[in-house]
Amino acid sequence: MSEATDAPARIGKLSIGALGILALSLGTLQTVVEPALPQLQRELEVTPGEGALIGNAFLVTGAVVAPVAGKLGDRFGGKRVLVWLMAVVAAGGLLASLAPNLPVLLLGQVLQGAMVGALPLSFILVRKHLPPRQSQVAMGVVMGLFTGGGMVGTVIPGPISENLSWHWMFAIPTIAITVTTLVVMRLMPHDPPVRTDNRIDWPGVALLSATLLTFMLGLVKVTGSGLPPFAVVGLALAVAALATGWVAVERRAVSPMVDLRMLAKPAMWNACVLTFIITVSSGMVLYLLPQLFGVPGDGYGFGASTTDIGLFLLPGAIAGSVSDSVGGIAARRFHPRAVVAAGAVVTAATLLALASVHGSEWQLVLAKVLTGFAAGVASTALLVNTATSIETKDTGIATSLLVVTRVVGVALGAQVGGAILDAAADSSGMPPESAFVTGFVVAGLVAALSLLFVRFTKKGAQA
């Protein structure tokens, strides 16, 4: 058969536009929970720790889908797998839009987390059907629209939930995803599967999912339900057993979802630890600020509506999106340790100051902008530096490991923030102001840990 016959079909602007609109819809659905979380907690009558699970259930699926999405696309074809994943996301959005209670909403969020695989699959399709220069432009369009969707998802939940109901803030993006997926199916040519001996590490996927879910559910139960000591010990042992099993499976798997052998390399280990510290701190901030905005205004809070919370969070979302490009530039011009150290100083100083001064909305908005920008620059610099300092053949493994680390860090930070509020809540479920002070101090100290780690590893390298 001739090379011309084997060459993949070219795609046009309509196909790229469809992928971009799909990314816009996915970015919107990804962020609608953040400003609406206080409202969801009130209407579903759940504790702050249980509320944190709403966003974290999404992240758990993302952590396990991200490393295997590309492998699935290679094995079965990028277009086919993208459509499969979007069907799962649409089912999750439907469940969330109809959810009568927290368990159903959590299930919907778990299914929606499959959207994390959409971006790498979109990039695979673009690279297969366009020459290098055009594919770079197309990838930029898709990524830019995904980021823009995140901003849209910050501002639309309020008007939708206040004029219709919170169910519609899941339903409307889901409808857009469904329609756009059908358009992609129609316009995007099929890409043939790539023959590969790499197997999908399904045991690793299952064990990592079980470990993360058990840990987060256990944290909610321990802080909110007053479990007896033997139950706490049992949960800790269950998490340890699942985590140990996952590590054992990954070390023995022929094609692991996360190649833990990469951690033996000092550069990879350092990047993962620093990324984890940074994202735990930022995850706490992501959770605590909307909660403080939503506390009734007759106390120490502001009584902000979902619309107001979305507007308050929008500048931070913009700063976070800008930080991605700035982080890449900073990684080229400065040593990543310097970038991380600067980000840690800004984050720690901002959060420790916020613990003392948080009586006005602008103070919280400014804190969100500073911490979001600092954390984004630092984590992106680490990602870019790692991707460019290792062998080309290991780029996918290294970046997937960092992506998983980022997702786990954000999820853990949010859950810890919810646990702090839960542990101090009164009989009505309302946390006192001191709980937020504690949360900001803890988040600031966690950010400061990266300074100590940078100094420690620098001394070790010099020695």
Read off the pLDDT band of 418 (50, 70, 90). Answer: confident
Instruction: At 423, list the tokens.
Output: 């542990």
CA-CA distance, 227 to 245, in Å (whole number)? 25
CATH number of 259-463: 1.20.1250.20
Helix axes 306-333, 336-356, angle to 10 degrees: 150
Instruction: At 258, list the tokens.
Output: 């996360």
pLDDT, position 391 = 65
Find the DSSP H helices in 253-360: 266-294, 306-333, 336-356
Residue 460 pLDDT exceeds 60: no
Residue 340 pLDDT exceeds 80: yes
Tokens 């823009």, residue?
148
The end-to-end CA distance of the chain, in Å, is 59
Residue 335 pLDDT exceeds 50: yes
Under a CB-based contact definition with an 8 Å cutoff, are residues 100 and 139 in contact? Answer: no
Under a CB-based contact definition with an 8 Å cutoff, are residues 446 and 302 in contact? Answer: no
For the chain, domain boundaries? 1-197, 202-252, 259-463
pLDDT, position 388 = 64
Residue 185 pLDDT exceeds 80: yes
pLDDT, position 197 = 60
DSSP 113: G
Could you give the percent of the chain with pLDDT greater than 90? 20
Question: Is pLDDT larger for residue 249 or for residue 11?
Answer: 249
Question: Is the fold of 1-197 the same as that of 259-463?
Answer: yes
Count the Cβ atoms, other than its own, within 10 Å of residue 43. Answer: 13
pLDDT, position 394 = 61
pLDDT, position 370 = 94
Please write the tens of the pLDDT for every residue from 204-244.
888 888 888 888 777 777 666 566 777 778 888 888 999 89
Burial class (CB in 10 A: 0-12, 13-18, 19+), 148: middle
Tokens 């959005």, residue?
93
Report the predicted TM-score, pTM, of the whole model to 2 decimal places: 0.80
CA-CA distance, 199 to 68, in Å (whole number)? 10
Under a CB-based contact definition with an 8 Å cutoff, are residues 369 and 321 in contact? Answer: no
Q: Is 355 helix (H, G, I), strand (E, B) or coil?
A: helix
Please write the tens of the pLDDT for every residue from 108-161.
998 998 888 787 777 777 777 766 666 667 766 776 777 788 888 888 888 998
Read off the pLDDT band of 403 (50, 70, 90). Answer: confident
CATH number of 1-197: 1.20.1250.20
Instruction: At 208, list the tokens.
Output: 């990592």
Read off the pLDDT band of 2 (50, 70, 90). Answer: very low
DSSP 156: S
Under a CB-based contact definition with an 8 Å cutoff, are residues 126 and 78 in contact? Answer: no
pLDDT, position 393 = 59
pLDDT, position 303 = 86
Q: What is the DSSP string of 367-407?
A: HHHHHHHHHHHHHHHHHHHHHHHS-GGGHHHHHHHHHHHHH
Under a CB-based contact definition with an 8 Å cutoff, are residues 255 and 201 in contact? Answer: yes
pLDDT, position 327 = 73
Q: Is 200 helix (H, G, I), strand (E, B) or coil?
A: coil
